[in-house]
């Protein structure tokens, strides 16, 4: 779906999420959301907060699993995705503490594999993801599944690409201060979500959107794996659609 601008697009995505949350509430069920960081989803979260404040949308039945976290990373660091999610969403809605999950950037390196397994097991224990929100890296990554990630990859520690670190360097003050690794939900877990919506805004994303949507399905553009998903949608603005 191509929208005139990110604001219109974000409103539509937030409405879909809100409708899902309400439908699950009516069924007396939990709503399990996979959430993303980066600049793209900020406008979606802002619209969800508005709906909470002005339209009574409640998050009491919402359980969330974030895609990724830098490694190593303290949760109260300025750049942590824990801080990002609290600032952008969790601190402003009524989601019960304990209902949101973000990969733990403080687990010792020899415990990361065990942590990753239990992260996926916990997702499964809630019946899997009803909805996964995604951004896309300039190199085609989803979460922090960098090029080369396999379609059946699981949650794991990932070495970040140079381009990914360069894009994040501004947040960290310099490239040398930017983490070299991250814990990311695997491609298999992302594709197991019953609905996937990927967001992209701006001309800078146009080439990778073209590659992901119109190119072959390839490990060099992990977002292209979404072509194999039965219920995935790209929600983009006109600028991001300019190479299609």
CA distance 180 to 8: 35
Residue 217, Cβ density class (10 Å: 0-12 exposed, 13-18 middle, ≥19 buried)? middle
Exposed, middle or buried by CB within 10 Å (0-12, 13-18, 19+), for 172?
Answer: middle
Environment class of 98 (CB within 10 Å of its CB; exposed 0-12, middle 13-18, buried 19+)? exposed
Between 69 and 108, how does the x/- string for binding to ligand GLP read (CB under 6 A)? ----------------------------------------
Q: How far is the CB of 29 from ligand GLP (least distance, A)?
A: 27
Q: Where are the alpha helices (DSSP H) in 27-109?
A: 42-55, 81-88
Q: Does 36 bind ligand GLP (CB under 6 A)?
A: yes
User: Which of 21, 123, 136, 190 lies at the binding interface for ligand GLP (CB under 6 A)?
Assistant: 136
Give the one residue of 38, 128, 179, 207 binding ligand GLP; rule: CB under 6 A.
38
Tell me which stretch binds ligand GLP (CB under 6 A): 14-22, 37-45, 51-59, 99-107: 37-45
**Is 149 among the residues that bind ligand GLP (CB under 6 A)?**
no
**Active-site hit among 47, 69, 120, 146:** 146
Alpha-helix runs per DSSP H in 110-239? 112-125, 162-172, 187-191, 206-214
Residue 47 falls in the annotated catalytic set: no
CA distance 60 to 96: 6
User: Binding ligand GLP by CB under 6 A: which of 14, 32, 62, 68?
Assistant: 68
Q: Using the minimum distance from each CB to ligand GLP, give the nearer residue, 41 or 51.
A: 41
Among 10, 40, 80, 149, binds ligand GLP (CB under 6 A): 40
Kindly report the backbone phi and psi dihedral angles of residue 222, in degrees, each rounded to the nearest multiple of 5, phi listed first.
-55, -30
Q: Residues 81, 68: contact at Cβ < 8 Å?
A: yes
Q: Which of 34, 103, 105, 137 binds ligand GLP (CB under 6 A)?
A: 137
Rule CB under 6 A: say whether 232 interacts with ligand GLP.
Answer: no
211 binds ligand GLP (CB under 6 A): no
- Shortest distance, CB of residue 192 to ligand GLP, whole angstroms? 17
- Compute the half-sphere exposure of residue 204: CA atoms within 13 Å on the CB side of its CA: 7
Kindly state whether residue 37 participates in binding ligand GLP, applying the rule CB under 6 A: yes
Give yes or no for residue 187 binding ligand GLP (CB under 6 A). no
| Closer by beta carbon to ligand GLP, 51 or else 88 | 88
Q: What residues contact 124, with CB distance under 8 A and at least 6 apart?
A: none
Contact set with ligand GLP (CB under 6 A):
36-40, 67-68, 135-137, 143-144, 164
């Amino acid at each position: 779906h191509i929208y005139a601008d990110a604001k219109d697009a974000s409103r539509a995505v937030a409405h879909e999420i809100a409708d899902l949350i309400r439908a699950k509430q009516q069924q007396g069920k939990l709503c399990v959301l996979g959430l993303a960081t980066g600049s793209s989803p900020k406008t979606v979260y802002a619209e969800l907060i508005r709906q909470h404040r002005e339209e009574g949308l409640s998050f009491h039945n919402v359980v969330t699993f974030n895609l990724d976290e830098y490694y190593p990373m303290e949760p109260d660091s300025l750049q942590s995705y824990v801080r990002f999610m609290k600032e952008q969403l969790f601190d402003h809605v009524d989601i019960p503490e304990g209902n949101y999950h973000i990969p733990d950037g403080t687990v010792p390196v020899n415990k990361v594999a065990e942590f990753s397994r239990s992260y996926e097991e916990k997702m499964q224990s809630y019946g899997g993801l009803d909805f996964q929100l995604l951004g896309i890296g300039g190199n085609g990554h989803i979460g922090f599944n960098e090029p080369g990630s396999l379609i059946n990859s699981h949650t794991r520690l990932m070495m970040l690409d140079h381009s990914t670190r360069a894009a994040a360097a501004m947040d960290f003050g310099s490239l040398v201060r930017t983490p070299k690794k991250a814990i990311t939900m695997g491609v298999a877990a992302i594709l197991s979500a019953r609905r996937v919506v990927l967001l992209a805004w701006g001309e800078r994303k146009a080439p990778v959107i073209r590659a992901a949507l119109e190119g072959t399905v390839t490990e060099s553009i992990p977002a292209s794996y979404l072509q194999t998903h039965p219920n995935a949608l790209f929600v983009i603005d006109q600028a991001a659609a300019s190479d299609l």
